[in-house]
Structure 1
Amino acid sequence: MARREKTSKPAKETKTVPAQGSSWTHGRQLGGKLLSALLFAAIACGPIALFAAAARPAPVVAAAPEAQAAGLSTQQQAAGGYAEGFVSSWLSATKDAPGDLATYVDLAALRQLSVTAWEYRDLSVVSITPVDGSDFVNVVVAAHLKELL
């Protein structure tokens, strides 16, 4: 038996894998450009926003209501009651039935009263304001009236 000579096997070839980098190689560069573009956009929007804020009209502020320091005096309250009574008598007085209008004015001096009484509701004193430098008081009385036809 003859011995067979072993032939040496060729050495295994090592596979060389080519070096592979990132598939997206310009990421940092693109990010830098994007950040620069955002910065320039912000700088450009600044003057536009400033112009828009300057062009906007000023807000309308409601006036503060006037408040009296010490409320109404007894004289002012009496004047308000007197004025409300006078307006009520005037609106309900007719030519034939003047009612209690005579307590406020001289009926002989009145030339004309309406034939029918006015229909009114919600008669109230709106304001009582003292006149500066005198003892007089301005009284405003309001009511809802129904038109006479």
Structure 2
Amino acid sequence: MIQPAQIPAMLALCGALLSACEGNARMPRGEQTVGGITIYLGVVPAEIVQGHPVAPGDPQALHGGTPAGRNSHHVVVALFDAKTGARITDARVAAGFGGRVRGHQPLRDLEPMEINGKMSYGGFFLLRETGGLQVHLEIRRDPKARPVTAAFAYDHLP
């Protein structure tokens, strides 16, 4: 049974959970422009990556192969100059996921990759948590300058 003294703490917890969900609902999902860079983000289950070998241990495997586990996903990021529309191919891109249960993963470098002859950045991630997640990106074109950061909402379904 709930004690009257517990009610304020429970209301605060409910408010925090609702605001986290609401915040995710307002976040961009697949495209945004930050710091003069238009960013496109895609996240797909690793098993549907086509046209590239992905088996762990295969020397030709994309990004060294998929991590073990059924929750492996491929993240791909394409970058464009917001003014000219020119594709950006000289950046360093790092990504990480954040969730309500496990917190924010450390950022990991994405690897340059070609998709249909066009330069993008990608990598595999294990997503153990389901529900509303955030994808955090850090983009560097000049190692001496501050990175451009962006966050996207991603709904990871079981």
Q: Which has the larger radius of gyration?
A: 1
TM-score (norm 1): 0.24
Structure with higher RCO (Cα < 8 A, 6+ apart):
2
